[in-house]
Structure 1
């Protein structure tokens, strides 16, 4: 279960004085780097396998939004919104002098990617939107609101894995205990008391519980901002966040886009699935 250390830790400062964290997987500098943005309650560990596969051929950065992983928690919980995350990412790009990159965004990370396309699209060499779009299904959002921000702890990793399995059986119906343990290692950390706890600030739930704060008003213009870019939309076949109809509508507006549906999973694909791996490789082959 141990993770091979093949990255360095990097830090940058937000405009409001938070020390934020990213993982830096080194690679060739003759191609645009890949920058990965995680989902609402997730962190850099979600992308470790993807980064390991891509590193070497390209530099890969795994961002941890404020309030997650090794990034500082915000004093004002109402700063836990996509527009603030966007500002934080722009500060990172400026700090590192990155002028062009490929964005990979899962769920919330995809919303940040779409906002980047609309506000600073010249920097995007390509984009992967993982199980997210400009329209989010109310049922899925309601499901997420039932658990986000609820502090829980477990005495052992097996207990944590079983809890995740109980809550996500419909999302990953084919998972076994090893899969749930792997997910637990991504979601949880061991605190100073030896308890296994969720690795994010429970206060991220405060703005998310306000309808409309998930993204913004009309997000379709952000898709149009990607129309000239290589784009990949990945959807879980069982997703309750990104509907098949919305995904098809997105692709109709993306001349250089590809839609890949990952069979048998819900929100969201891990991007370790063979069809997702192959699709990301196809997208990167288009980005020089």
Structure 2
């Protein structure tokens, strides 16, 4: 296990033997739920760096944080079979990583595709999910949002310098993210890209783009309402970017009907998906996790006494 800036690198084997990676922040924190962070389609563990530092070192209740790189992203190995880039395989990979780390239960934070994986984990290992934060994702995906993602990934931008990369991201996302400042855009660029001898390069397998190519966005998309309904007993915080194209206001309202105790935050001035380290989001997420864990402990104590 190698060390980085306030984190350690953890490598483990997927069920099919592929070498996968996660970042570990903080100590074991016996007595408090760890936090598992799952990124978006082409993103990686670096997306959660600032939030992980907050939750593991600066929050009132400090927690161990595990941020995963899916296969084909970040420091995880690329898969020679593009068909394995799917949420089912990736969910199994996450369970393998949790087993390797000895984590039986945790709070989960899922951005975009990470939230879809959480839906599947709820069916595969419901007892592992103690609290959930869904970042701009739900059981219904809007075709316009998927079309937007496909448009800026095909072809994937190939910036060579920081300034070029920042300008590229602003050109694609600036209209949806007027709240971001220069430092936010630079963090996004460093999270999305890796440094190479040829300059900055997107830090994911280019074949990932093929997984979107076959989607027929003129037809109704499959939904995950049964999987979402299975999460009804789990404390849930849903975040939505005020300018999101992927998670609609109508879907968020319907989610609240299916999960009456769900808490929601709309992040104004941001689109898909909100930057979790900005504004009051780190403290709001920490407070949600603390309240969920406190309520769980109180309920268990009352059951033990009855």
Residue 117 of structure 1 is matched in structure 2 by 122
* Structure 1: distance between partners of 2:261 and 2:123: 17
Which one of 164, 167, 170 corresponds to residue 169 of structure 2?
A: 164
Residue 131 of structure 2 is matched in structure 1 by 126
- SS in structure 2 of the partner of residue 227 of structure 1: coil
Task: Please say if 1:243 is aligned against 2:248.
Answer: yes
The structure with the largest alpha-carbon Rg is 2
* Structure 2: distance between partners of 1:176 and 1:217: 36
Tell me if the contact between 1:21 and 1:70 (Cα under 8 Å) persists in the aligned partners. yes
Which one of 74, 87, 90 corresponds to residue 85 of structure 1?
A: 90
* 1:157-236 pair list within 5 angstroms: 157-191=162-196, 193-211=197-215, 217-236=222-241
1:142-175 CA distance string (max 9 Å, x none): 1111122524333311111111111111121133
- SS in structure 1 of the partner of residue 92 of structure 2: helix
Q: Which moved more, 1:271-280 or 1:194-203?
A: 271-280
Tell me if the contact between 1:67 and 1:73 (Cα under 8 Å) persists in the aligned partners. yes
Which runs of no fewer than 5 residues in structure 2 stay unpaired?
295-306
Which one of 45, 69, 84 corresponds to residue 74 of structure 2?
A: 69
Which runs of no fewer than 5 residues in structure 1 stay unpaired?
none
Q: Which moved more, 1:171-180 or 1:46-55?
A: 171-180
- SS in structure 1 of the partner of residue 153 of structure 2: coil
Tell me if the contact between 1:189 and 1:198 (Cα under 8 Å) persists in the aligned partners. yes
Tell me if the contact between 1:230 and 1:287 (Cα under 8 Å) persists in the aligned partners. no
TM-score by length of 2: 0.88
Task: Please say if 1:268 is aligned against 2:269.
Answer: no
Residue 16 of structure 1: how far off its partner (Å)? 1.7
Residue 90 of structure 1: how far off its partner (Å)? 1.2
* Structure 2: distance between partners of 1:229 and 1:88: 22
Task: Please say if 1:252 is aligned against 2:253.
Answer: no
Q: CA 1:115–1:14 in structure 2 vs 1: closer, same or farther (change >3 Å)?
A: same
- SS in structure 1 of the partner of residue 41 of structure 2: coil
Tell me if the contact between 1:78 and 1:206 (Cα under 8 Å) persists in the aligned partners. no
- SS in structure 2 of the partner of residue 266 of structure 1: coil
TM-score by length of 1: 0.93
Q: Which moved more, 1:244-253 or 1:123-132?
A: 244-253
Q: Which moved more, 1:21-30 or 1:145-154?
A: 145-154
Tell me if the contact between 2:25 and 2:56 (Cα under 8 Å) persists in the aligned partners. yes
Count of residue correspondences: 282
Residue 145 of structure 1 is matched in structure 2 by 150
* 1:41-80 pair list within 5 angstroms: 41-56=42-57, 57-80=62-85
Residue 186 of structure 1: how far off its partner (Å)? 1.1
Residue 212 of structure 1: how far off its partner (Å)? 7.6
Residue 21 of structure 1 is matched in structure 2 by 21
Higher helix share: 2
Residue 137 of structure 1: how far off its partner (Å)? 0.6
